[in-house]
A and B are shown apart, each in its own frame.
Chain A
Amino acid sequence: EAGVTQFPSHSVIEKGQTVTLRCDPISGHDNLYWYRRVMGKEIKFLLHFVKESKQDESGMPNNRFLAERTGGTYSTLKVQPAELEDSGVYFCASSQDRVLQETQYFGPGTRLLVL
């Protein structure tokens, strides 16, 4: 069974540009999460999808970040326009069951550097 995949693995962009990150969850997982780790800090929750609906977007930092999950399969996270402080590693995770005792399976992350 394939795990959570993320694309690209690395992205280097200039301040003011737009970047779109993609996450493919484990097949059949309704729950999809985005997290990010800013350099040297802890991993922080961004948002949670259940199928195509945003269940919790309390961690989204500002309106420069837009997450979508059309069709309830893969998800994209767009940063527009990117700022220097957006640099970090963006992780995606997915889980299967609609119960609290689920395990979130993480992807390898996308390392974003904004210059």
Chain B
Amino acid sequence: AQSVTQPDIHITVSEGASLELRCNYSYGATPYLFWYVQSPGQGLQLLLKYFSGDTLVQGIKGFEAEFKRSQSSFNLRKPSVHWSDAAEYFCAVGLMDTGRRALTFGSGTRLQVQP
């Protein structure tokens, strides 16, 4: 069965610093890959997604992610973090070859931003 690992439960960065959130997946084929963000009191908002093509994906709010097949990773990055980026971030995978639409999520990484 597929699985998603976000090894960092909690990360604290200073405002203006760069950010990288890690995501590794376990799946036999190339999955669809997503990053969602949940701010307090809000629903899950899609930051970006990868289906095929260019392995560097640009998203909203200045985020990007790079799909690395050899490492089964889809890490999320931002060059300069803003205080409003404090939230919980979820990596998710969908399965290309099964026809099922269920997303499998990682356990999330909570980001705290220090002034």
Contacts and interface: CB of A to CB of B under 8 A. Distances in A.
A44 interface: yes
B43 A104 contact: no
Nearest to A55: B101
Interface residues of B, number: 25
B102 A56 contact: yes
A103 B107 CA distance: 20
A100 B105 contact: no
Interface stretch (A11-19, A71-79, A80-88, A105-113): A105-113
A101 interface: yes
A33 B101 contact: yes
B49 A104 contact: no
Contacts of A41: 107
Interface of A: 3-4, 31, 33, 35, 40-45, 48, 55-56, 58-59, 91, 93, 95, 100-109
Given A35-B105, A43-B103, A101-B32, 11 more contacts: A31-B101, A35-B103, A42-B105, A43-B90, A43-B105, A100-B94, A100-B99, A103-B49, A105-B46, A106-B36, A108-B43
